[in-house]
Amino acid sequence: MVHSSNDLILFEYLNCALQEVLRFGPPVSFTVRNVTTDDRPPIICGAQLYKGDEVMINIYNLTRDKRYWKIDPGLFYPERFQDEDKDYHR
């Protein structure tokens, strides 16, 4: 099958739509990661993290947090992942 440049644009938009589907409705709400180095992140009120500690990350809240998304995170907007709009999420 021969694809034209128009097909490439459709595939790029499909990729954006898939990324937005996963952001808008992540397949898992939480994930657990192991800390790889001792650290004192500023966000956790001065708590010390040590190598080997487990950290639970709330993926659902990250995908809905207005601090990380310039365009309303409650809005389904695949264009946020297009090249010209990639700066709209931090």
Query: What is the tens place of the pLDDT at every residue in 1-51?
Result: 556 767 767 788 889 999 999 999 999 999 999 999 887 776 666 678 889
pTM of the model: 0.70
Beta bridge partners of 39: 49
Both 33 and 52 in one domain: the answer is yes
Is 69 a domain residue? no
Q: Characterize the bridge pairing of strands 54-58 and 30-34.
A: antiparallel
Q: What distances in angstroms separate CA 65 from CA 13, 43, 51, 70, 75, one per listed residue?
A: 24, 14, 27, 10, 12
Work out how many domains the chain is built from and give that number. Answer: 2
DSSP state of 52: T
Do 15 and 32 share a domain, yes or no?
A: no
Let me know if residue 13 belongs to a domain: yes
Q: Where are the beta strands (DSSP E) in the chain?
A: 30-34, 54-58
Tens digits of per-residue pLDDT, 76-85? 999 988 876 6
Range of the domain at 90: 1-25+75-90
Q: What is the pLDDT of residue 2?
A: 58
